[in-house]
Structure 1
Amino acid sequence: MTTTPDLLSRALGEPAGTSGPVLRPLPAQVADLLRALQAPPRLAAHLRAVHDVAHRLLDWTGRHCPGLAVDRDAVLFGAATHDIGKTLYPAELSGPGSAHEEAGRALLLSHGFSRDLARFAATHASWAAPGTPVEDLLVSTADKIWKGKRVPELEDLLVARVAEATGRERWAEFMALDELLTAIAAGADERLAFQSSFPVRPVRR
């Protein structure tokens, strides 16, 4: 019989199975924190899916526009922890709400993470603010496209940063990014099914 802790371990990093998506495991420091917090397995599965998509976005930016200065480690950490505040507000896993945003930042700070890394928990839904760093745009894009959601305003901001780095026309960079996001979105159903296969209720040992 499968126990709830086993479900959390599966969500964090064990193979999704031959019929599921191939997703990278979450970073060890994030997985350890989620275990310590007795996080809901569904939250861990969601963070894993967004983290995997962030990897794909970063791989693309590295190949397509190497002149774009991006803190890769920060983006991956941000993607892996952006919704960690939902350990405190689990109702927001299946319903609307933004209380998890500031709560997530405070939670990460209380566990010794820097403000620079903790910020993603609070900023992943506020990408339209003036001067938003490209790292935040990438985390926000990963948090949308993992489930196939396209947000033109967000994508336009990312295109502008890419075009600035490459010196190419925005329309050309839009086409390049659109091709990537379309390919990522094609796997949305599998990622959604993976997330939905885990319970919302937190782990209680």
Structure 2
Amino acid sequence: MALDRALTESGTPTLRALPDQVELLLRRLDVPPRLAAHLRAVHDVAYRLVDLLGRRYPGVRIDREAVIYGAATHDIGKSVRTGELSGPGSAHEEIGYRLLLDHGVTERLARFARTHAEWAGADIAFEDLLVSLADKVWKGKRVPELEQLIVDHLAAASRQEPWEVFMTLDDIVGELAEDADQRLAFQSRHPVTP
């Protein structure tokens, strides 16, 4: 079964398994294998991102569980708006948010489906920015405005100079982006349709 392969294949680089409750939900919804592969890739990057940030900024509070869960479910609305798996569109964002709420996911964790592409709003938390960053970096994309928002938050929370934080974040993002081609190849090995 193609979905099972997308959820369990180790991949190159080796990708972490999704949280059990996320994997169960994806199976219940019978999501397209390409979507499951994408969610695994972004989840893996988010996991590594919060780990690296936690080591470099131990005094900065990060809701690790929320970031990891958010990355693992951020595009779940594409299970309904399947055309957005291979084409542009943002309808999946609100649909995904509602879908998660309908399946008993709390607002704290469901919000990432709605916020992962929008990082300028007043209600955007640091964790939303981290999910957004993981959703860009998994494929090696750099977004200076997004990264600057993260630098600003880390500088204020750690009381370091912004240029120092920028250098550290640049190193982290560069390290995470190194495997982008392999993650893209992993995702593309899985079909868009079940």
For normalisation by structure 2, the TM-score amounts to 0.97
Deviations 1:71-130 (A, max 9, x none): 110111000000000000011000000110000000001001111111100000111113
What displacement does 1:59 show?
Answer: 0.5
Alignment gaps of 5+ in structure 2: none
SS across alignment from 1:150? coil
Partner of 1:39: 31
- Aligned partner (choices 4, 8, 20) of residue 3 of structure 2: 8
Contact 1:41–1:198 (CA<8 Å) still a contact in 2? yes
- Partner of 1:101 in structure 2? 93
> Where has structure 1 moved over 6 Å in runs of 4 or more?
none
Distance 1:97 1:199 in 2: 19
Which of 121, 132, 137 is 1:140 aligned to? 132
Moved more, 162-171 or 141-150: 162-171
Q: Provide closer, same or farther for how the CA distance between residues 163 and 131 of structure 1 changes in structure 2, counting only shifts above 3 A.
A: farther
Maintained 8 Å contact 1:41/1:200? yes
Amino acid across the alignment from 2:71: A
Work out the CA distance in 2 between the residues paired with 1:199 and 1:88: 16
| Structure 1 Cα separation of the partners of residues 8 and 156 of structure 2 | 36
**Are the equivalent residues in 2 in contact too, given 1:13–1:24 (CA < 8 A)?**
no
Partner of 1:78: 70
Deviations along 1:37-93, whole A, 9 cap, x unmatched?
A: 110000000000000000111011111111111111011100000000000001100
Q: 2 CA distance for matches of 1:14 and 1:171?
A: 40
Instruction: Structure 1: give runs of 5+ residues left out of the alignment.
Output: none
Q: Residue 165 of structure 1 corresponds to which residue in structure 2?
A: 157
Could you tell me which residue of structure 1 aligns to residue 142 of structure 2? 150
Secondary structure at the residue paired with 2:47?
Answer: helix
- Residues 13 and 26 in structure 1, CA contact (< 8 A), matched pair in contact too: no
CA distance in structure 2 between the partners assigned to 1:70 and 1:42 by the alignment: 29
Q: Which amino acid aligns with 2:175?
A: A
> For 1:183, which of 175, 179, 182 is the aligned residue?
175
Q: Is 1:127–1:140's contact at 8 Å kept on the other side of the alignment? A: yes
> Which AA in structure 1 matches 2:35?
L
The residue number in structure 2 matching 1:127 is 119
CA contact (8 A) 2:84 2:92 kept: yes
- Name which of structure 1's ranges 146-155 and 178-187 shifts more when overlaid on structure 2: 178-187
- The structural deviation recorded for 1:152 is 0.2
How far does residue 131 in structure 1 lie from its aligned partner after superposition?
A: 4.6
Compare 122-131 and 136-145 and name the one that shifted more. 122-131
Tell me the distance in 2 between the aligned counterparts of 1:131 and 1:119. Answer: 10
**Aligned equivalents of 2:14 and 2:157: distance in 1?**
31
Contact 1:78 1:121 in 2 (8 A): yes
Aligned-residue sequence identity (percent) comes to 61
